[in-house]
């Protein structure tokens, strides 16, 4: 029990340290705030005018996809942050202290929730300006946002693990780009699944990113009235499917990342 | 005196490369051990094992009587570590850095703050204490890092190349601070590739190369081991060289070296300052004008060259390999 309390106490100290950086490094804050606006406007107007999403305003359809893509990209912060701390020897300092072995990772992933909340708020605000609406209830909307945060939190642990493996923050950014781009584009984020050919379509149907996008579209009421979800279990039950993915990712990557932290050597 | 640091037969491999090959160390309470060696000799690996950052492949180590493998958390409560690169957060202020470390040592909110201010004061960082660390000079950052290692008043302190990359003035400042610490009874293990630094700070020196100790002793003992003080002098006129050589021959205990173009003559002697005085007296009697004269004791550079057959600053292939392996 005291061990759990220690993780929280130490984790809170690390979280606070990471949050101070948000204020001290305006470049990061600007990126956090500007990039969601850019995503919404860019995709909303460039794609929004070109693609037919079947009845519903494509801009409204897009919002679910943009939300997911942005929070998944947000997880890169976790990886880059861990890699930077490794590179600068701060992890060595932490590891020489009698603090909890998992606190640095818990603290880092926790502070990145704050990043993601900020970018979701900005995205939602921008979305409202260009005509996106929540057409369900407050509760369902909150559930949608919670699901986004949960998924990005789980993904933060993947990136945190990667951050401890690679030699520098730049590598995290490049590596994550290679993973995140296909993951977020071979999905229903920006185009309806029906438009994808064979194998890509199967991948997209079972891609958890599709499920999250599907789930938030349902929860925000951004699907056309006559919409029928594709006949695959993952998209018929997108909330459950997302939660299963979150559980699997956390079950694998929390222990993996903590183990890597313990043995991590500085560079 | 009890040993505060004790290592027996430490072995660590990085793949094919043996970073440590059965290293033994013993540091009595309140003393300073200088671990001296070139890059890649295994110094940092030794410190990382003793500071619980790395587990040895074989061998055992105790710090403050606690086994580093069996009870790493117990060891962590007793030690302070300051690494080769300043492990401070450049976005936090100096105060925030120290306060954070205090909180992570679980000193409590109030005690952490108090301790942070106290250390800033002591390391002459009070004025800069509320500025982000990235505005600090290299020397200031290093002092802050050192302060960070002292937050919990550790009984054992590890400093891994504490002055590498500092300018001479900052280095001298750091030495002063370190010497003060030691006066208060902290046991210190210090790694360095600067022979001068070990000479300055350490009570005992262990010279390590390729993962093993190749010599131990005080600075003086090591110099004696290599042997040979030399009288070195420069005469005014080339025509005096032959007579100078004849005078030196009276005292020399080995070959005399004469460099004609620089009018530089040197000879190994025994008897130290006494030999020098007698040499000068005889030169004076012979009316030989001397421009420069000195008794040169061997430096630790000489010690290193003598012991390993290669110079201390040399960056061997093994060194690069060790660093490469660490980074994986």
User: A28-46 pLDDT, tens per residue?
Assistant: 778 777 888 888 888 888 7
Report the gap between the CA of B131 and the closest CA in chain A (Å): 11
Q: Which residue has the higher pLDDT, A149 or A62?
A: A149
A96, B76: Cβ pair inside 8 Å?
yes
Band (B253; pLDDT cuts 50, 70, 90): confident
Which of A10, A20, A97 lies closest to B91 in CB terms?
A20
Tell me how far apart the terminal alpha carbons of chain A are, to the nearest angstrom. Answer: 34
Angle at B182 between CA B177 and CA B188, to 5 degrees: 105
CA nearest B131 in A: which residue? A24
**CA B92 – CA B102 distance, rounded (Å):** 14
Percentage of chain B exceeding pLDDT 90: 44
Please state which CATH class domain B228-297 belongs to: alpha beta
pLDDT of B173 strictly over 90: no
* A17 contact B CB<8A: yes
**CA B71 – CA B77 distance, rounded (Å):** 10
A95, B96: Cβ pair inside 8 Å?
no
pLDDT of B84 strictly over 80: no
pLDDT of B72 strictly over 70: yes
| B283-301 tens-digit pLDDT | 889 888 888 888 887 776 7
Q: Which two tokens stand for residue B207?
A: 């010279």
A265, B83: Cβ pair inside 8 Å?
no
Q: So what's the ipTM on this one?
A: 0.87
pLDDT of B80 strictly over 90: yes
Record: fold of B3-78+154-224: Rossmann fold (3.40.50)
Report the gap between the CA of A196 and the closest CA in chain B (Å): 40
**CA B180 – CA B202 distance, rounded (Å):** 13
B105, A97: Cβ pair inside 8 Å?
yes
Q: Is B209 left (phi over 0), alpha (psi -120 to 50) or beta?
A: beta
Instruction: For chain A, state the CA radius of gyration.
Output: 19
pLDDT of A235 strictly over 80: yes
Mean pLDDT over A59-64 rounds to: 87
**CA B219 – CA B225 distance, rounded (Å):** 10
Which of A9, A98, A167 lies closest to B327 in CB terms?
A167
* A133 contact B CB<8A: no
Q: Which residue has the higher pLDDT, B239 or A206?
A: A206
What's the domain range around A89?
2-263
B83, A266: Cβ pair inside 8 Å?
yes
Mean pLDDT over A61-86 rounds to: 90
A20, B52: Cβ pair inside 8 Å?
no
Which of B83, B101, B326 lies closest to A97 in CB terms?
B101
pLDDT of A256 strictly over 70: yes
Mean pLDDT over A84-96 rounds to: 90
Instruction: Identify all chain B residues contacting A20, using CB atoms and an 8 Å cutoff.
Output: 91-92, 96
Q: Is B165 left (phi over 0), alpha (psi -120 to 50) or beta?
A: left
Supply the pLDDT for residue A155: 95
Task: Note whether A205 and A193 are within 8 A (CB).
Answer: yes
pLDDT of A56 strictly over 70: no
Supply the pLDDT for residue A47: 75
**CA B275 – CA B254 distance, rounded (Å):** 14
Q: Which residue has the higher pLDDT, B271 or A218?
A: A218
Cβ-Cβ contacts under 8 Å for B244 (sequence gap 6 or more) = B233, B235, B258, B265, B283, B288
Supply the pLDDT for residue B238: 87
A24, B88: Cβ pair inside 8 Å?
no
Q: Which two tokens stand for residue B144?
A: 């802050």
Supply the pLDDT for residue B323: 39
DSSP at B239? G
Provide the 10 A C-beta neighbour count for residue B306.
16
Band (B319; pLDDT cuts 50, 70, 90): very low
pLDDT of B321 strictly over 60: no
Ramachandran angles phi, psi of B190, nearest 5°:
-125, 130
All structural domains of chain B with their residue ranges: 3-78+154-224, 228-297
Residue B233 host element (H or E): strand B229-235
Tracing tokens 């890059």 back to the chain, one arrives at B39
| A177-234 tens-digit pLDDT | 888 889 998 999 888 888 888 899 999 999 999 999 999 999 999 888 778 888 899 9
Instruction: Identify all chain A residues contacting B76, using CB atoms and an 8 Å cutoff.
Output: 96-98
Report the gap between the CA of B88 and the closest CA in chain A (Å): 6
Instruction: Identify all chain A residues contacting B90, using CB atoms and an 8 Å cutoff.
Output: 88
Supply the pLDDT for residue B227: 66
Task: Note whether B233 and B266 are within 8 A (CB).
Answer: yes
CA nearest B97 in A: which residue? A17
A20, B92: Cβ pair inside 8 Å?
yes
Number of domains comprising chain A? 1
Supply the pLDDT for residue B315: 43
Band (B272; pLDDT cuts 50, 70, 90): confident
Percentage of chain B exceeding pLDDT 70: 92
Supply the pLDDT for residue B314: 44
> Which three-class secondary structure string do you get for chain A?
CHHHHHHHHHHHHHHHHHHHHHHHCHHHHHHHHHHHHHHHHHHHHHHCCCCCCCCCCHHHHHHHHHHHHHHHHHHHHHHHHHHHHHHCCHHHHHHCCCCCCCHHHHHHHHHHHHHHHHHHHHHHHHHHHCCCCCCCCHHHHHHHHHHHHHHHHHHHHHHHHHHHHCCCHHHHHHHHHHHHHHHHHCCCCCCCHHHCCHHHHHHHHHCHHHHHHHHHHHHHCCCCCCCCCCCCHHHHCHHHHHHHHHHHHHHHHHHHHHHHHHHCCCC
* A262 contact B CB<8A: no
Least reliable range by pLDDT among B24-38, B123-137, B308-322: B308-322
Supply the pLDDT for residue A266: 45
């Amino acid at each position: 029990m005291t061990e759990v309390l220690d993780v929280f106490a130490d984790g809170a100290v690390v979280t606070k340290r990471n949050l101070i950086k948000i204020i001290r490094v305006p470049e990061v804050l600007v990126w956090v705030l500007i990039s969601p606006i850019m995503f919404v406007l860019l995709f909303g107007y460039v794609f929004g005018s070109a693609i037919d999403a079947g009845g519903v305003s494509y801009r409204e359809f897009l919002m679910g996809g943009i939300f997911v893509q942005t929070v998944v990209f947000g997880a890169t912060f976790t990886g880059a942050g861990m890699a930077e701390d490794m590179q600068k020897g701060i992890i060595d300092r932490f590891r020489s202290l009698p603090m909890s072995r998992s606190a640095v990772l818990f603290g880092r992933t926790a502070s990145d929730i704050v990043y993601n909340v900020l970018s979701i708020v900005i995205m939602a605000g921008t979305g409202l300006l260009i005509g996106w609406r929540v057409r369900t209830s407050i509760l369902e909307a909150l559930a949608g946002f919670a699901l986004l945060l949960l998924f990005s939190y789980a993904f933060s642990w993947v990136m945190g693990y990667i951050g401890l493996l690679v030699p520098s923050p730049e590598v995290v950014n490049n590596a994550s780009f290679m993973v995140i781009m296909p993951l977020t584009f071979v999905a229903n984020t920006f185009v309806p699944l029906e438009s994808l050919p064979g194998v890509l379509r199967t991948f997209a149907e079972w891609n958890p990113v599709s499920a999250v996008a599907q789930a938030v579209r349902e929860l925000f009421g951004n699907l056309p009235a006559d919409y029928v979800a594709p006949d695959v279990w993952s998209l018929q039950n997108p909330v459950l499917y997302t939660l299963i993915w979150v559980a699997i990712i956390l079950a694998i990557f929390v222990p993996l990342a903590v183990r890597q932290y313990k043995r991590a050597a500085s560079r | 005196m009890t040993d505060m640091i004790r290592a027996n037969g430490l072995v660590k491999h990085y793949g094919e490369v043996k970073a440590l090959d059965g290293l033994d160390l013993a540091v009595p309470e309140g003393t300073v051990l200088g671990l001296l060696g070139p890059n890649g000799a295994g110094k940092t690996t030794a410190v990382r094992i003793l500071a619980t950052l790395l587990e040895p492949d074989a061998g055992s180590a105790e710090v403050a009587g606690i086994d580093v493998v069996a009870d790493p958390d117990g060891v962590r409560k007793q030690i302070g570590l300051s690494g080769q690169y300043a492990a401070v957060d450049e976005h936090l202020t100096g105060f925030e850095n120290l306060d954070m470390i205090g909180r992570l040592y679980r000193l409590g909110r109030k005690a952490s703050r108090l301790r942070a201010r106290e250390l800033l004061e002591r390391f002459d960082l009070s004025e800069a204490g509320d500025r982000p660390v990235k505005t600090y000079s290299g020397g200031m950052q290093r002092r802050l890092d050192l302060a960070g290692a002292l937050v919990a008043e550790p009984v054992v302190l590890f400093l891994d190349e504490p002055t590498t990359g500092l300018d001479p003035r900052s280095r001298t400042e750091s030495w002063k601070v370190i010497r003060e610490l030691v006066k208060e009874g902290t046991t210190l293990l210090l790694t360095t590739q600067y022979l001068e630094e070990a000479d300055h700070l350490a009570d005992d020196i262990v010279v390590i190369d390729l993962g093993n100790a190749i010599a131990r002793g005080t600075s003086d003992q090591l110099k004696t081991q290599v042997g040979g003080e030399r009288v070195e002098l420069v005469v005014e006129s080339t025509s005096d060289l032959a007579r100078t050589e004849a005078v030196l021959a009276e005292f020399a205990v080995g070959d005399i070296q004469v460099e004609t173009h620089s009018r530089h003559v040197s000879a190994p002697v025994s008897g130290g300052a006494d030999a020098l005085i007698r040499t000068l007296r005889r030169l004076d009697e012979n009316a030989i004008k001397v421009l420069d004269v000195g008794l040169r004791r061997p430096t630790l550079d000489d010690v290193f060259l003598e012991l390993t057959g290669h110079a201390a600053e040399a960056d061997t292939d093994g060194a690069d390999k060790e660093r490469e392996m660490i980074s994986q």
